[in-house]
Amino acid sequence: MSILCPSCLTDNPDGTQQCISCGFNLTPVSPNKTTTSLHHLSIGTLLKQGQYQIEQVLGEGGFGITYKGIYRANNAPVAIKELWPEKSARQGNQVIWPASISPQIKRQQTSKFKLEASHQQKCHHANIPKIYDWFDENDTVYIVMEFIAGKSLFKILTQEKKLTEERVKRYFMQIADALKTVHNNNFLHRDIKPDNILIDPQDKAILIDFGAAREFIAGQTGDMTRTLTPGYAPYEQYSQRSKRFPATDFYAFCASIYELLTGQLPIEAPDRASALLQQRSSDPLIPPRQLNPDISNLMETVILTGMRINVEDRFQTADELIDALKGQFVSPLQKKARELVKQGKLVEAVQSYEKCLSNEPNNGAAAVEQALLQIHLNDTQAEIAAQKAIQLNPNDGRGYGVLGLVYCHQNNWESAVQQLQKGAKLSPQALWIQVNLAWSFGKIGHWQEAESAINTALKLDSNNLFALGIQAWITFNQNQFKATIGAASKAITKSKQNPSQKNQQIQYWVYPYLLAALDKATTSQQSQDLDRRIQDCLTQIQDHPFAWGFKGWKQAQQGLWSQALPCFQQASRHPNAAPWVLINTAISHEHLNNPSEALQIYQAYLQNNGEEPFIAYRLGTLLAQLGQWKQAKTHLEQAIQLKPDYPEAYHNLGWVLLNLKTADGQIQYARELLSYYRQAITLYNQQDKSHLSRMLAQALTEADV
């Protein structure tokens, strides 16, 4: 009869005291010790100088034996976990390590076992067992922890086949909160599964077995030992050089929910990844509702989100997971897109939204957010996105709001009003919709409706700069100049308090309404305030074309042409200079006897902007002053053709014809001359310019015409 060595499983001749292969002591265990297995510690065994006593074997895993014991100082129950290397044996209480494990590997295993205790001890949470102690003894290591009476979820599943969603949700909300503590301590559990979740007599879920837990820094690559359970482990856990993320635990978390609700273990992650890499039509993971129709749509979404192959597509924090389980689901891809928007990475954000909607085609909130983003990038794509958002979420007014903004950009103001009205009705708290509705009403001349819309917007936020600016624009067009001054001043003052490029843009277009309103509302005694505001504008925006032009215009009104000209020239250098600035630059040159410069500006203006009656009139008059009568005649005739009721043009054309004579000194166009003068007198009278009519008539009489 041979003796089987418990250490190396070698057959030894009967009577052998030491194994012929590994040298293990084959002396039988003392018969007065009671145990359930040759390699378990006997009941009653004392540890750590009698502080702890073994009472019962609870279970055995690949690298450890767990006992129920007592802390003898107060007889409190404890769980004691003993490091038990594979293929080891016991002589008395002493653990005999197999010869196949070198001293170096032995040190690694004992250090790792102690590290488990250290990691778990740092994670103080009601749903994680407390670690009381760990120590070396019997050539191995022991961990003493809180004793949890109860059954694992795996045993419960085995008995009940499936669990209800409400029950699973209650347990896993607790586990998610425990994981929050684990991850906040920079650890990953790495082996979440139903077998590692105990349900105690109070129906509380307890996360156990931190043997695979590892320290991590999110997003960094490290040597992650390949410890996993197929079906629960994500794809990245199959690689020792994978990056470390909390989302690794969330995959196993959601895979566990999948199994508990369906009774079926999910397909292994590498098989899923392989299928997706081969560009098959779909993920081979069976959606859980196909296996159990009683699972809610929300729970299925949570499970499938947590089990996505790509780490970045899963939940990134325990809080995200908890919110999702509570019904406040926000797709990780959607959240990532939001973060990219905050960082100003708009193109990348669009790509993230597109990926989100590809994975979640019914995500109405993401569709609306994508439309809101596209309005800043591409009107065509914004319109497409808005239509999709309206289709998915017809009760969200923001989709209509985006569509209205697209029409604003296209100057399709009637359509803009229609869409923005729908948006304002569905989303009355969306200030931006109300402001743009006011803008659109103003653009079609419905100033009363515009005023009503902007007042609604300002009730939502009385300090909104864009709304205040639009109010200034509306009231100016209603000739409510004091109201314009109030709104514009407030907008400018608040924009100065928070300097930014966006706020400076608001100042850029609001200042002209403030300056023009001040000019119309103030008396000559108050002109100093206007001058101060002009200078204030130029201090804030040094090249503001309107402010420079307006300053020049005020000086020109006083006949200060030499001071006005540099202001007009400064304004005209700006690429967005208004046409009136260029015209007044030319007029200033005329008054300063710079006819060639004036001619050059008028001719350039006509070339860039086309024929205009006033420019044709000025150009014809200037050419006449220079004695270029034929060219003057052409331009003045053009002015009359463009504006038949232009008395000044008729007047000056008569003067030009008076100077166009034949070779013998006769007036060449005498009949036309009289006709033009008569028409000038008639139009002067019709346009309440009778003083000019009288002056012209008197001049003609004196000239005997």
DSSP letters spanning 454-519: HHHHHHH-TT-HHHHHHHHHHHHHTT-HHHHHHHHHHHHHHHHHS--HHHHHHHHHHHHHHHHHHH
pLDDT tier at 172 (50, 70, 90 boundaries)? very high
Report CA-CA distances (Å) from 302 to 114, 169, 225, 337: 35, 11, 28, 19
Which range in 184-188, 551-555, 665-669 is most confidently predicted, on average pLDDT? 551-555
Is the pLDDT confidence value at 53 over 90? yes
Is 450:480 a contact under the CB 8 Å cutoff?
A: no
Report CA-CA distances (Å) from 137 to 58, 211, 212, 326: 20, 19, 22, 47
Cα 552 from Cα 569, distance rounded (Å): 9
Nearest alpha-carbon partner for 223 in 249, 245, 242:
242
Beta bridge partners of 142: 82, 135
User: In the CATH hierarchy, which fold is given to the domain comprising 611-702?
Assistant: 1.25.40
Average pLDDT of the chain, as a whole number:
88
Is the pLDDT confidence value at 33 over 50? no
Is the pLDDT confidence value at 47 over 80? yes
pLDDT tier at 705 (50, 70, 90 boundaries)? low
Is the pLDDT confidence value at 533 over 70? yes
Is the pLDDT confidence value at 21 over 70? no
- Whether the model clears a pTM of 0.85, i.e. scores above it, the answer is no
Residue 280: predicted pLDDT: 60
Q: Is the Cα dihedral 519, 522, 526, 530 positive or negative?
A: negative
Instruction: Indicate the burial class of 130 (C-beta count within 10 angstroms; 0-12, 13-18, 19 or more).
Output: middle
The set of long-range contacts for 648-651, using a CB threshold of 8 Å and a minimum separation of 24, is: 648/617, 648/680, 649/613, 649/616, 649/617, 649/620, 650/676, 650/677, 650/679, 650/680, 650/683, 651/676, 651/677, 651/680, 651/684, 651/692, 651/696
* Greatest extent of the chain over all pairs of C-alpha atoms, in Å: 157
Is the pLDDT confidence value at 174 over 80? yes
Is the pLDDT confidence value at 449 over 90? yes
Residue 77: predicted pLDDT: 95
Which of 89-103, 217-231, 266-280, 283-297 comes out lowest in average pLDDT?
Answer: 217-231
Is the pLDDT confidence value at 640 over 60? yes
What stretches of 331-480 show up as alpha helix (H) in DSSP?
A: 332-342, 346-359, 364-374, 379-392, 397-409, 413-426, 431-443, 447-460, 465-477
What pLDDT, in 10s, does the model give residues 284-340?
A: 999 999 999 999 999 999 999 999 998 988 999 999 999 999 999 888 888 889 999
Is 232:255 a contact under the CB 8 Å cutoff?
A: yes
What pLDDT, in 10s, does the model give residues 62-99?
A: 678 999 999 999 999 999 999 998 888 999 999 999 99
pLDDT tier at 415 (50, 70, 90 boundaries)? very high
Is 400:426 a contact under the CB 8 Å cutoff?
A: yes
Tell me what the mean pLDDT of segment 699-705 comes to. Answer: 72
Residue 134: predicted pLDDT: 95
What stretches of 263-345 show up as alpha helix (H) in DSSP?
A: 269-277, 288-291, 297-306, 318-325, 332-342
The set of long-range contacts for 482-486, using a CB threshold of 8 Å and a minimum separation of 24, is: 482/517, 482/521, 484/513, 484/514, 484/517, 484/521, 485/514, 485/517, 485/518, 485/521
pLDDT tier at 211 (50, 70, 90 boundaries)? low
CATH code of the domain made up of 151-329 = 1.10.510.10
Enclosing H/E stretch for 654:
helix 647-658
Is the pLDDT confidence value at 525 over 60? no
What pLDDT, in 10s, does the model give residues 130-154?
A: 999 999 999 999 999 999 988 999 9
Residue 397: predicted pLDDT: 93
pLDDT tier at 523 (50, 70, 90 boundaries)? low
Residue 186: predicted pLDDT: 85
| DSSP, res 30 | P
Cα 544 from Cα 642, distance rounded (Å): 32
The number of beta carbons lying within 10 Å of the beta carbon of residue 297 is 9
Q: Which amino acid is at 235?
A: Y
Tell me what the mean pLDDT of segment 563-577 comes to. Answer: 91
Q: Which residue has the tokens 């009656």?
A: 613
Is the pLDDT confidence value at 225 over 90? no
Cα 63 from Cα 85, distance rounded (Å): 5
Cα 152 from Cα 196, distance rounded (Å): 7
pLDDT tier at 216 (50, 70, 90 boundaries)? very low
Is 260:231 a contact under the CB 8 Å cutoff?
A: no
Cα 587 from Cα 557, distance rounded (Å): 12
Residue 409: predicted pLDDT: 93
Tell me what the mean pLDDT of segment 557-569 comes to. Answer: 94
Is 81 labeled as ligand-binding? yes
- Is CATH 3.30.200.20 the right assignment for the domain spanning 25-146? yes
What pLDDT, in 10s, does the model give residues 500-518?
A: 888 889 999 999 999 999 9
DSSP letters spanning 517-536: HHHHHS-GGGHHHHHHHHHH
Nearest alpha-carbon partner for 397 in 422, 371, 369, 429:
422
Nearest alpha-carbon partner for 190 in 119, 257, 258:
119
425: Cβ contacts below 8 Å, ≥ 6 apart = 397
Q: Is the Cα dihedral 339, 344, 348, 351 positive or negative?
A: positive
Helix (H, G, I), strand (E, B) or coil at 607: helix
What pLDDT, in 10s, does the model give residues 98-130?
A: 999 999 999 999 998 898 888 889 989 999 999
Is the pLDDT confidence value at 226 over 60? no
Domain locations along the chain: 25-146, 151-329, 611-702
Is the pLDDT confidence value at 255 over 50? yes
Instruction: Indicate the burial class of 559 (C-beta count within 10 angstroms; 0-12, 13-18, 19 or more).
Output: exposed
Nearest alpha-carbon partner for 175 in 195, 154, 200, 204:
204
Is 55:66 a contact under the CB 8 Å cutoff?
A: no
Is 397:424 a contact under the CB 8 Å cutoff?
A: yes
Cα 620 from Cα 614, distance rounded (Å): 10
State how beta strands 151-152 and 89-91 pair.
Answer: unpaired
Is 192:207 a contact under the CB 8 Å cutoff?
A: yes
